[in-house]
């Protein structure tokens, strides 16, 4: 019996030593990764990953910074306060044009809709010829509008683009009949539809989504394992959002993202997918569009602005 007890003690001691060794070989990173998000649906998997402890589970510390304007977010990025951002291809190109070495690691899921006012008499995108369309110019919103206008057989010059950068103001002007049409992302797009707006086209229908998750080249070089862990947590959050009833997290999301309370019954969340690389064809189209508008001077290649190693 004594020999058996000694043998068991040796086994338990060995197991404990192995556990300690594994813990030392896979330490939790002490580095905090700062990510800037906007009040949009593209950022929701990150909010869920934080709330559900998925980042902690993956051994990475993440600080999510909330911004209400892209200008403030990009200023924080430029000053070195952020490692990564939930953004879009156009903003990434603008950042690089301005000297910030920003690289995309994945695309995002979200829907942008071109819609007409309920009393506008417009029933299709082809009816927009000569009409006012509210948007923010030189942004993903104008790029998306142009693609939808062209898909309807019109030229972007056939419509009157009205610059209305603040999204709430754009929604208000659409609903008040001050513009015949507008382009809006979720969650305001769903609220507009709830109030009678007519959807003419969307990035879901066009399969032309230019959203992106991007990190600075410095962060990708210094913290590749932490960023890989972040994407694993993102994927787990996406699975959660696919399976879980919205009722269990919607109130939290609305509060955390600062969404207007009235969107609760109209919010249309995308079908969140596992992280995958941005589509090269869309990127090249965005580059061409920005060059044609003289928004960028440089010549940018997909391989230089996309880090394909993080998802491998």
pLDDT of residue 13: 43
pLDDT of residue 27: 57
Non-local (6+) Cβ contacts of 283 within 8 A are 89, 210, 302, 305, 306
Of 204, 178, 199, the C-alpha closest to 188 is 199
pLDDT of residue 28: 63
Domain 32-109+210-305 CATH superfamily: Periplasmic binding protein-like II (3.40.190.10)
Domains 32-109+210-305 and 112-206 share a fold: yes
Pick the CATH number of 112-206 from 3.40.190.10, 3.40.50.300, 3.40.50.2000, 3.40.50.720: 3.40.190.10
pLDDT of residue 81: 96
CB atoms within 10 A of CB 280: 12
Task: Provide φ and ψ at 79, rounded to 5°.
Answer: -85, 0
Please compute, for residue 299, the number of CA atoms within 13 A of its CA located in the half-sphere on the CB side.
0
Domain chopping of the chain, boundaries:
32-109+210-305, 112-206
The conformation of residue 115, written as its DSSP 8-state character, comes to E
How far apart (Å, rounded) are the C-alpha atoms in residues 7 and 192?
72
CB 182 within 8 A of CB 171: yes
What predicted TM-score, i.e. pTM, was given to this entire model?
A: 0.88
The conformation of residue 309, written as its DSSP 8-state character, comes to S
155 to 58, 128, 152, 195, 292: CA distances (angstroms): 48, 10, 9, 29, 14
CB atoms within 10 A of CB 82: 24
How far apart (Å, rounded) are the C-alpha atoms in residues 82 and 16?
39
Mean pLDDT, the chain cut into blocks of 10 residues (312 residues total): 44 42 51 95 97 97 92 90 97 95 96 96 96 96 97 97 94 97 95 96 95 97 97 98 93 93 89 96 97 94 96 90
């Amino acid at each position: 019996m004594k020999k058996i007890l000694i043998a068991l003690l040796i086994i338990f001691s060995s197991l404990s030593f192995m556990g300690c060794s594994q813990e030392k070989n896979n330490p939790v990173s002490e580095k905090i990764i700062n990510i800037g998000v906007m009040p949009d649906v593209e950022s929701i998997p990150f909010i869920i990953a934080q709330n559900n402890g998925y980042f902690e589970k993956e051994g990475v510390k993440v600080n999510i910074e909330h911004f209400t304007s892209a200008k403030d977010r990009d200023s924080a990025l430029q000053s070195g306060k952020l490692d990564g951002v939930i953004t879009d291809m156009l903003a990434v190109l603008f950042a690089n044009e301005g000297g910030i070495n920003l690289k995309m690691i994945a695309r995002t899921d979200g829907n942008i809709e071109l819609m007409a006012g309920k009393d506008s008499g417009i029933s299709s995108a082809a009816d927009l010829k000569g009409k006012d369309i509210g948007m923010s110019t030189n942004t993903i919103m104008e790029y998306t509008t142009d693609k939808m206008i062209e898909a309807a057989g019109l030229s972007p010059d056939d419509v009157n683009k009205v610059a209305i950068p603040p999204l709430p103001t754009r929604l208000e002007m659409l609903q008040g009949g001050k513009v015949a049409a507008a382009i809006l992302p979720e969650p305001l797009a769903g609220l507009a539809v709830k109030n009678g707006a007519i959807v003419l086209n969307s990035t879901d229908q066009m399969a032309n989504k230019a959203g992106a998750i991007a990190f600075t080249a410095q962060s990708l070089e210094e913290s590749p394992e932490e960023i890989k862990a972040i994407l694993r947590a993102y994927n787990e959050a996406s699975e959660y959002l696919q399976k879980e009833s919205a009722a269990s997290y919607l109130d939290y999301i609305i509060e955390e993202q600062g969404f207007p309370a009235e969107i609760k019954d109209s919010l249309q969340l995308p079908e969140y997918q596992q992280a995958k690389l941005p589509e090269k064809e869309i990127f090249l189209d965005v580059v061409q569009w920005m060059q044609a508008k003289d928004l960028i001077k440089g010549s940018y290649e997909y391989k230089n602005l996309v880090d394909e190693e993080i998802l491998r």
